[in-house]
Structure 1
Amino acid sequence: MSVIAWHICLCNKRLPPRQKELKMKATEAEPTLRRMLSEAGFDFSNPSPMLAWQVFKAFAGQPVKCADDGLLFECGVYEFTGEPLFHFDLCRQFEIEVNGEYDHMEQLHCRLTCKPTEALKSLETNLWAYDFQSMPAFFDAVENLPEFKTAVAHPTWQCEVEQNEV
């Protein structure tokens, strides 16, 4: 199913059909997201947070073999690299079990960063999809955040996609 078809299913407040044989392994999530970004025309040298968000929403509908699967939107100024940067972070978290027992968590981030401007400095929020009844409700809540609206209007970003055990 194409990225657009997945997005249409999510916008219509229904999940796309899932077949067990189509579930990707958690280790396949990062290359899948990168492929979907590329297919959507995402330019890593001049990234668009709105296009990243649209692709992330479609990616969220891709089933993954894991015990639990969560979505997080987070933004704010953080100094993870030693320098203060504004982060617009789209995260998908996977709980991994081995032999039916908890083993670890992995997080896949599509993280856009920029130098904090006056408009961005005071913005900070995070929302977990767990707090909503459906993915579309989560997506709507994120898109209605003033922090989201302000951040996506910012013109200059850097982007990295990475998956790590947490």
Structure 2
Amino acid sequence: MPDRPRLEEALGLLRAELVTGQSEMTEWTTRSAWLAFTRFGRRRFGTAPTPDSDGLLFQYGAYAFSGRPMFTVDLTRQFGVSDAGGEHDHYVQVHCELRYEPEPDLDALGSFDSWFFHDADADLDEWFAAMEEHPALLLGRRPSEIDLYEEPV
């Protein structure tokens, strides 16, 4: 798959999608981050053509990952990484975390998560449309904190 980007390029490509049309991170809204994530999610990478090698995760809830409780929307891309023999070795996740100060209307949303996997005979447009129904309360808001990072899992 020479025309597909390598997994090592994923974080940089997500960052590039996020800055498209934005002069700095303080301008990002949930809507602009979501639209960037959908563009990033449509791009295929050089992964094995197996049902769990390239996944998208949309999740939210009130968590204290950074030490204090925040309402967090986590937009994640997960890639399966194989060893030299072609066997599964581990996963790499690329995250865009949007954090908001706790508010009763956000807390009332509870928590939610949903996965989509390329090459698993599912419709990406249908998944994106279904996920867009969840953050309606958040779309126009600016997150208090934004964190882009990559981690092995």
Normalising by the residue count of structure 2, what TM-score does the alignment of the two structures yield? 0.87
Alignment-mate amino acid for residue 100 of structure 1: G
Tell me which of 145, 149, 156 is aligned to 2:136.
149
Structure-2 residue corresponding to 1:140: 129
Residue 165 of structure 1, CA deviation: 0.4
1:49 correspondence with 2:34: no
Structure 1 residues 93 and 52 mapped into 2: Cα distance closer, same or farther (>3 Å)? same
Give the conservation status (yes or no) of the 8 Å contact 1:47–1:157: no
**SS of the residue 1:80 aligns to:** coil
Give the conservation status (yes or no) of the 8 Å contact 1:40–1:55: no
> How many residues get paired?
145
Normalising by the residue count of structure 1, what TM-score does the alignment of the two structures yield? 0.80
Q: Which has the higher contact order (CA 8 A, sep 6+)?
A: 2
Instruction: Give CA deviations for 1:68-95 in whole Å, capped at 9, x if unaligned.
Output: 1000110110011221011011111001
**SS of the residue 2:61 aligns to:** strand
Give the conservation status (yes or no) of the 8 Å contact 1:44–1:158: no
**SS of the residue 1:22 aligns to:** coil
Gaps in structure 1 of 5+ consecutive residues? 1-19
Residue 22 of structure 1, CA deviation: 2.0
1:106-145 equivalences under 5 Å are: 106-123=92-109, 124-130=111-117, 133-145=122-134
Structure with more of its chain in helix, by fraction:
1
- Displacement over 4 Å in runs of 4+: none
Question: Is 23-32 or 125-134 further displaced after alignment?
Answer: 125-134
In 2, the alpha carbon distance for the partners of 1:153 and 1:95 equals 33
Residue 42 of structure 1, CA deviation: 6.2
Alignment-mate amino acid for residue 82 of structure 1: G
**Percentage of identical aligned residues:** 29
In 2, the alpha carbon distance for the partners of 1:36 and 1:156 equals 17
In 1, the alpha carbon distance for the partners of 2:21 and 2:73 equals 19
RMSD of aligned alpha carbons: 1.8
